[in-house]
Amino acid sequence: MRHEVMFAGFGGQGVMLIGQMLAYAGMNEGKQAVWLPSYGPEMRGGTAYCIVQVSDEPIGSPVVASPRNTAVMNRPSLEKFGPKVKAGGLLIINSSLIPVSSDRTDISILHVRCNDIAYEMGTAKAANMVMLGTLIGATGMVEPGSIEKMIEYQFGTKGKRELVETNVKIFERGVEIGREEARRWKPGSRSKASG
- CA distances to 61, 139, 140, 156 from 151, rounded to whole Å, are 27, 19, 17, 7
User: Closest Cα to residue 38, out of 78, 4, 69, 6?
Assistant: 6
- How many helices (H) does the chain have, and how many strands (E)? 6, 7
Which residues are CB-contacts of 134 (< 8 A; sequence separation ≥ 6)?
71, 92, 110, 112, 114, 174, 175, 177, 178, 181, 193
Instruction: Count CA within 13 A, CB hemisphere, residue 23.
Output: 20
Structural domains of the chain, ranges and CATH numbers in brackets: 2-184 (3.40.920.10)
pTM strictly above 0.85: yes
Write out pLDDT tens, residues 19-73: 999 999 999 999 999 999 987 665 555 679 999 999 999 998 888 999 999 999 9
Percent of the residues in the chain that have a pLDDT greater than 70, as a whole number: 90
Amino acid letter for position 93: I
Amino acid letter for position 62: P
What whole-number distance in Å separates Cα of residue 121 and Cα of residue 10?
22
- Is the CB of residue 138 less than 8 Å from the CB of residue 2? no
Low-confidence ranges of the chain (pLDDT < 70): 40-46, 158-159, 185-195
pLDDT value of position 189:
58
- Helix or strand (DSSP H, E) at 19: helix 15-28
pLDDT value of position 103:
93
pLDDT value of position 194:
47
